[in-house]
Amino acid sequence: MTQMTIIAAAGAAIPAQPFAGRHLIDGAWHDSATGETFERRSPAHDVVVSRSALGAEAEARAAIAAARRSFDSGVWSRASGKERATVLLKVAALIEADVERMALIETLESGKPITQARGEISGAADLWRYAAALARTMHGDSHNTLGPDMLGAVIKEPIGVVSIITPWNFPFWILSQKLPFALAAGCSCVVKPSELTPSTTAMLGGLLIEAGLPAGVVNIVLGYGPAVGAPMTTDPAVDMVTFTGSTAVGKAIAAAASGTLKKVALELGGKNPQVIFADADLDSAADAVTFGVYFNTGQCCNSGSRIIVHEDVAEALVARVVALSRQVAFGDPLDPRTQVGAIISQQHQGRIDGCVRDAVAAGAEVALGGAPMTVPGLAGQFYQPTVVRGVTPDMAIAREEVFGPVLSVLTFRTLDEALALTNDADYGLSAGVWSENVHTCLAFCRRAQAGTVWTNTWMDGFPELTFGGVKQSGQGREIGPYGLEEFLEVKTLVMRIGRSRAPWVKTL
Enumerate the active-site residues.
267, 301
**Closest listed residue to residue 206, CA positions, set 71, 35, 90:** 90
Query: In DSSP terms, which residues pair with 30 in a beta bridge?
Result: 23
State how far Cα 117 lies from the chain centre.
14
Question: What is the distance between the alpha carbons of residues 302 and 294, in angstroms, rounded to a whole number?
Answer: 11
- Per DSSP, 295 falls in state G
Question: What is the distance between the alpha carbons of residues 369 and 383, in angstroms, rounded to a whole number?
Answer: 8
Helix axis angle for 171-185 and 114-137, nearest 10°, is 10
Query: Do you know the residue count of the chain?
Result: 508
Question: What is the distance between the alpha carbons of residues 159 and 489, in angstroms, rounded to a whole number?
Answer: 5
138 class by beta-carbon count within 10 Å (0-12 exposed, 13-18 middle, 19+ buried) = middle
- Per DSSP, 240 falls in state E
State how far Cα 306 lies from the chain centre.
20
96 class by beta-carbon count within 10 Å (0-12 exposed, 13-18 middle, 19+ buried) = middle
Sign, CA dihedral 265-108-120-53, equals positive
Cβ atoms 168, 194 nearer than 8 A = yes
Helices (H), 224-373: 230-234, 247-257, 282-294, 314-327, 346-361
**Closest listed residue to residue 391, CA positions, set 300, 297, 271, 278:** 271
Query: In DSSP terms, which residues pair with 396 in a beta bridge?
Result: none
- Work out whether strand 386-389 and strand 406-412 pair parallel, antiparallel, or are unpaired: parallel
Question: What is the distance between the alpha carbons of residues 494 and 488, in angstroms, rounded to a whole number?
Answer: 19
Question: What is the distance between the alpha carbons of residues 403 and 300, in angstroms, rounded to a whole number?
Answer: 6
For residue 311, count other CB atoms closer than 10 A to its CB: 11
Sign, CA dihedral 60-265-492-134, equals positive
Cβ atoms 267, 244 nearer than 8 A = yes
